[in-house]
Structure formats: structure tokens, C-alpha cells
Amino acid sequence: MELQYFLDCIPNALFIVRPISDKDFEYVYVNKAFCLLIGRDKEELVGKTYSTFFDSGEECWFKAFVQTVKTNRISYFEADSNVIKKHLFAQLFPVEEDCCGCMIHHFEEVSVKIKFLQEQATLLQHAYKDDLTGFYNHNSLKEFAKTLKENQNIGIAFLDLYNLKITNNLYGHHTGNLKIKELATLMQKHFKRYTLFRIGGDEFLAIGLNSKANVFLKTCENVKKQLEKNHLATIGYAYFETLKNLNEGIKLCENEMNQHKLKLDAEGSIR
């Protein structure tokens, strides 16, 4: 009686269950804090199974209880509870041979958890996406390079926005951003089948993995012709049947882009 009184005085929700399977369990003991948390009386819970009161939907908790009994180890666990619509942080511990105790240390509204996850997703997006264009950034390119296999063919186009620094200095960054968006729109239109990157302030990539050589090269030719008309950017591109090092392929295309820029400068095509 003294122990039960002590447990009922604990401010943390505490309960003990006997797993029946990984889909149901029986309540062996519940304290007052737990009853208040789920809105049920002790007399109505003890000796009854979870399925007596609630629909399915707590499978992760069922499995955690079973695992605690099997391993006979204390563990920390967190998950959403569909019954009370909260995200719970708990400590699980074995009781005797066939029961599992659970003390809920604290909880938060599911909406708080969702907001946190959304914020983390936003941070992750900023880490791997360019905010202005929505293209993948240099961090993404590094991860992309790790996934490449030597036997994959790949097409690479390197585009350089012409005179972005001068535009920013003379007309302001707003005008420069408009130029960046203009090039991004052009790339989305022509390279819609490919993966697009903005890897620097004025440097862009279009990468076609396992693409058809004739299709990729024809697309690049069309883009090159358009760029020579609108003087927006210069381009260098190549198609590789196999490529061991992505950076080497990008460097080659960058050199081709520089040759294109020198050619247009010599012709006076770029103003």
C-alpha cells in the first residue's frame, strides 16, 4: 500500500503493462498522473487490454514494450501517441519476467513536433538548395558525386552568367538577381530532364545522368544558339560514356565554356 501511494504521488505518468503480442497489451498498473493524462480511471484500466478502449495505431509502442521484456533492458523511447495526440518521451524498463514499465518524462503537442520537423526540413533545404533559383547547390553536388558509378554515362553542361559582378556593381544586386532568375528559367525550359545546380554566384550546371548522347548534345547546341542571341551567358558541354571523376568532367566543360566566352568576346558578340 505504501509503495502504491508513493507511485501515485509521482508527478510523471507511470504505468506497467503485460504485452500480449506486438499488437496489444494488458494494463497491470497505472498511477494517477497517467490516468489524468489519458482521461481514464484506474479501476477502468487495470486488468483490461489496450484494445478494450482504443483502436489500433500505437504499434511502435507495442513493439517497444515487447522488446523491453525480451531484452530485459532499460531504454529510452519517444514517439507520437494517437490516443492523447502528443509526442511522448519515455523510459521503458523491465518488471518481473513478463511486464514492461513505462515512465513518461515529458511530452509536447504533436503540432510542436511537426513544427520542429518542418523547421529541420527547411534548414536541410537551405543546406542543399539555392534559395534564389531552387536549384541544387555546391553541397548537393558533392553528395551527387558520391553516388556516381564508373559505368554510368553522363552529360555535363557548364554555364557562366556573363558579367554578373559588373551588373551588381552598376545596377545593384536586384538587377543581378533578375539575370540569375532569367538564366535559371532558360535552363529549366531546355534542361528539364536533367539535374540543375547553381554552384557559385554566376556558375551553373546541368547534368544528365544515363542520358542519350544525341539528345543531350542537341539540347546543349540549342541552348548555345539562344545564349549567343541574348548574350545572357556562355556555355561549355561534353558527353562522357564513362567518367571516373565528376570534377574532372566539370573542369573540362568549364574550359570549353571559357573558350566559348573568348570566341564571343573576340567577335564582339557579348556586350
Question: Which domain CATH number covers 38?
Answer: 3.30.450.20
53 or 222, higher pLDDT: 222
DSSP at 136: B
Q: Which residue range(s) make up the domain with 32? A: 2-112
The cell 558533392 sits on which residue?
A: 142
Q: For the residues of 213-248, what is the DSSP string, one character each?
A: HHHHHHHHHHHHHHHHHH-SEEEEEEEES--S-HHH
- Domain co-membership, 159 together with 247: yes
- Domain co-membership, 101 together with 156: no
- In-domain check, residue 122: no
Q: Which of 157, 164, 163 is nearest to 196 (CA)?
A: 157
Q: Supply the pLDDT for residue 154.
A: 94
- Domain co-membership, 61 together with 174: no
How many CB atoms are located within 10 Å of the residue 271 CB? 7
- Domain co-membership, 189 together with 226: yes
- In-domain check, residue 123: no
Residues near 182 by Cβ (< 8 Å), separated by ≥ 6?
232
- Domain co-membership, 140 together with 219: yes
- In-domain check, residue 117: no
- Domain co-membership, 227 together with 108: no
pLDDT digit string, tens, across residues 224-240: 999 999 989 999 999 99
Confidence of residue 80 (pLDDT cuts 50, 70, 90): confident
| CATH classification at residue 198 | 3.30.70.270
- Domain co-membership, 246 together with 155: yes
Residue 140 pLDDT exceeds 70: yes
Distance CA 99, CA 89 (A): 19
2-26 CB burial, b ≥16 within 10 A, e <16 = eeeeebeeeeebbbbbbbeeeebbb
Instruction: Work out how many domains the chain is built from and give that number.
Output: 2
Q: Supply the pLDDT for residue 271.
A: 46
Q: Which sign, positive or negative, has the C-alpha torsion 258, 264, 265, 270? A: negative
271 or 123, higher pLDDT: 123
- Domain co-membership, 91 together with 183: no
Q: Supply the pLDDT for residue 84.
A: 78
Q: Which of 201, 195, 192, 193 is nearest to 233 (CA)?
A: 201
